[in-house]
Amino acid sequence: MHRVGSGPSEPEAPSQPSSGLAGGLATEVRSALPGCMEINNVNVDPGYRGQGLGTALIHAAEIRVRSRGHSRVGLGVDEDNRRAAQLYQRLGYRDRGVRYVSRYAYADDQGTDRDVEANRFLIKELVAPADSAGQA
């Protein structure tokens, strides 16, 4: 997880393969959503998928985002990755029309080698937990 469009005093975003367009390094996302936090590279071992681990990982990341004082978080998903997109939409992530292309060698969910990924950046506005509402 890191902030999109990191300023000079912030740590470097994790290194990404090739062109610098992957994940939080996408200039399209930076310019459209400066300062937005990003969840990046969600991945569960194939033998453990469909058991709630992906949902738990995302919820844990959202708690960290909130604890750092941010109320908006997003994540990029391959336009072909419909199942992951369904999961994110179920968790409240919405398509606001931000797009970017990543170029790096990877195997997709079906094990096919690919090197270009067209992504949608989905956004969620986080609400404070009910028990912290109204507190200073």
Ligand X SMILES: CC(C)(COP(=O)(O)OP(=O)(O)OC[C@H]1O[C@@H](n2cnc3c(N)ncnc32)[C@H](O)[C@@H]1OP(=O)(O)O)[C@@H](O)C(=O)NCCC(=O)NCCS
Strands of 16-92, DSSP E = 37-39, 72-78
DSSP element (H, E) containing 67 = helix 53-67
- Residue 87 engages ligand X in binding (rule: CB under 6 A): yes
Q: How far is the CB of 109 from ligand X (least distance, A)?
A: 5
CB of 124 closer than 8 Å to CB of 74: yes
| Candidates 5-13, 18-26, 50-58, 63-71; binding stretch for ligand X (CB under 6 A) | 50-58
| Candidates 1-9, 20-28, 36-44, 110-118; binding stretch for ligand X (CB under 6 A) | 36-44
CB of 65 closer than 8 Å to CB of 40: no
Give Cβ neighbours of residue 91 (< 8 Å, ≥ 6 apart).
55, 58, 59, 124
| Candidates 3-11, 38-46, 66-74, 128-136; binding stretch for ligand X (CB under 6 A) | 38-46
Q: How far is the CB of 40 from ligand X (least distance, A)?
A: 8
Interface residues with ligand X (CB under 6 A)?
42-44, 49-55, 77, 81, 83-84, 86-87, 109
